[in-house]
Amino acid sequence: MEIENIIQKVLISAIPILFAIVLHEVAHGYVAFKLGDPTAKMLGRLTLNPIPHIDLFGTVLMPILLYIFTNGQFVIGYAKPVPINTSNFRNPKRDMAISAASGPVTNILLAALSFIILKYVLLPASGIASSGFFGTIIEPLALIFTASVTINVIFATFNMLPIPPLDGGRVLMGFLPYRQAVALSKIEPYGFFIVIIFVATGISSYIILPVARFILSIIRML
């Protein structure tokens, strides 16, 4: 892969990846705050300033490299987790599930918004301003918003895998009876290794990509 092509892909993907991950984490903290837990707010994590959220490897290097080398087909990443104290919830089991679900839901909404801006603003404008200063701005913006749609959908789909500590695992624990939820929670210390195996073996692609394509087909109907 030529260095110019790599640099272009990094520049196109960096902004939507950063927005996807930061808004995902802010959504967790904001919904937890609305449900009674002020921990994230007190620690300054309910901010769109990316600096408090950034993990150098998980937020920057890993998602960009995955986006480049899978040609945008597979993107995962993470930020510094937003702290949540479930003892502040009225219903800890339910409210934790709602807080967990808010991250992927935010990513799907962000994908939908990106598609709407692309379809109804940038693409029509590109036909009007096909050359000149505005043309040079609209083209890269269109590429960025196109990447945002794919990145947010894949990120949301991946995070909804029912493996704790991923959001899907926490949501599933909220629906399971108490004993089964406790049993699932015991997987959490090993969850990251399970996820790595899923990704390394390609198993995750058979689960994530069909679901991501289905979500994308719905978004494209907007």
DSSP 88: G
Q: Is 2 a catalytic residue?
A: no
Q: Does residue 53 contact residue 45 with C-beta atoms inside 8 Å? A: yes
3-class state of residue 72 by DSSP: coil
Sign of CA dihedral 75, 79, 84, 90: negative
Tracing tokens 């000149």 back to the chain, one arrives at 132
Distance CA 207, CA 196 (A): 14
Name the active-site residue from 2, 25, 139, 188: 25
Q: What's the one-letter identity of residue 87?
A: S
Phi first, then psi: what are they for 220, rounded to 5°? -70, -10
Active site amino acids: 25
